[in-house]
Amino acid sequence: MTNPVYILNGPNLNLLGHREPAVYGRDTLDDIKGLATARAVSLGLAIDFRQTNDEGELIGWIQEARTAAAAIIVNAAGLTHTSVALLDALQASELPIVEVHLSNIFRRDSFRQHSYVSLAATGVICGLGAKGYELALEAVRAILDKKSAA
C-alpha cells in the first residue's frame, strides 16, 4: 500500500458547523472527514485526517509527512495568511500539496486574500465548501498517477 494522503486542518476548524455557518457552512469537521474518507476509498487512496489549533503541531505534522505521506491536503485556516514558518515547512516537504479553503478567500477581507500556503501549493481549491476536500483528493489522485507514469 502506498503512503496516505495527509489532510491537515488548522486552527478553529474544530468549530465548523457552529462558527459562522453563513461563511463556512453547516458541515462539521467530522462530516468533512466522512466525505473525504468515502472519496479517498473510491479513489484507492488512504488518508490521515488531522486538526490542530497549534501552529507548531501543524508544522510538525508537515515535517512528518515528508517521509510518511504521498501528498498533503491542507486547510491552514487563519495560519494561511500569517505563517511564513508554515510555508517553509510545506516547501521543505517536497510533496504535492493542495490548499483547500471552505470559503472563497478572494471575496473576503483583504488580509484573507493573501496566502503563504499558495506559494508552496501545487493547486488551490476555495469557495466550494466541504466539496473542496473531495475535489482536492481527486486532484491528488491525478497528480500521483501522473507522477507514477513519468
Out of 6, 24, 116, 133, the active site residue is 24
Query: Which is nearest to 7 in space by CA: 96, 104, 115?
Result: 96
What cell was used for 133? 476536500
From the CB of residue 1, how many other CB atoms can be counted at a distance below 10 Å?
A: 6
Please confirm, yes or no, whether 24 is among the known catalytic residues: yes
Place of cell 500556503: 117
SS3 state at 9:
strand
Out of 101, 114, 116, 133, the active site residue is 101
Please confirm, yes or no, whether 18 is among the known catalytic residues: no
Kindly provide the b/e burial profile for residues 97-112, where b requires at least 16 CB atoms within 10 angstroms of the residue's own CB.
bbbbbbbebeeeeeeb
Residues belonging to the active site: 24, 101
